[in-house]
Structure 1
Amino acid sequence: MAELRKTPIEGLIEIFPRIFPDNRGYFFESYREDWLKSLGIEENWVQDNQSFSQKGTVRGLHFQRTPHAQAKLVRVISGKVLDVAVDLRKDSPTFGKHFSTILDDQNFNLFYVPKGFAHGFAVIEDAIFAYKCSNFYNKESEGGILWNDPMLGIDWGVSSPIISEKDKYWPTLEEFKNQTGGL
């Protein structure tokens, strides 16, 4: 059985699968439905995504608005990233707080990010990043929070980050708070 670790922010879960190494290499179960069900989390995963990013890249902070909101189950196939989730649930006691963890190809760990969070990552070593989504991507429902918003105070751990044009212009958390509608 995998080791499941709750984080200080309700809903965010780190998963450390059991690894079976031998002289040929290793084997592990990268996903089992019963891991999350044991915590009362039931998702219907409908889309798998994979990306490659070079060292120094920061992607995020992204989310999908209702009715296309997505939970994500993320992991690194090769390389190393700092993975970050920001609580955007306006009624949550941890609204605006973030949690970060290292995902890499040595621990093979996963990170469960429920609906209601913005998600992003900084690439510490060139990385192939994979994730399951509980809903299909919808361009009109896409949203984001400015990755370097001083109010969030996220230490991305990279100097001179490589940022997409889109990610440079998302609203700050304060601007997001003042928008009508939710996730």
Structure 2
Amino acid sequence: MQRWMNRVQKERPADLAGQQLTAAIYFQGLGSAVGQLTFGSVHAAGQRSSFINDAQAMQNAVAARDEVIAREREGFHRPPGSLAADFPDSKGVLAVTDRQLIVFGYHQGLFRTRIEDPVARIALSDLSGWSHSPGMFAWTLNLAFRDDSDVGLDLPIANKPADFVWTLGVPATAA
């Protein structure tokens, strides 16, 4: 988490003007971490099969990944124009200040990565609740907003999601 806080402060200081940064973390759209693993497993199995060609192996892997992601995102309410709809489906950086959630875009290039312009600024007063659930490859962060929208995000395990949720006091999802 500290790494992401340092990067936000270094790369996007103007976006934090007058605010105290409390926490920051890289995220992926819900289901992305498991979806990537599914893609890799299905694709590898398909390539080893003598019954299908490479194109079919890729097509099967993409379909399996998309199914996992759709299943993970089921139940979340993200209508167009809602606060939850502002979160990217792919990846980004979530910064939490003393006043707001700032959702930054994120560019992952071959030789350089960068935190991009904010895609959303959400006042903390618009956040009606949040929770987390640990996972083997990624933790899930659930965010609910006053406009009755909600979104789930994958926090990859390599980014120390436990530090992020502990710093913010995000409760565990009730079982």
The TM tier, using the shorter chain, reads under 0.3
TM-score by length of 2: 0.25
Larger Rg: 2
TM-score by length of structure 1 reads 0.25
Greater strand content? 1
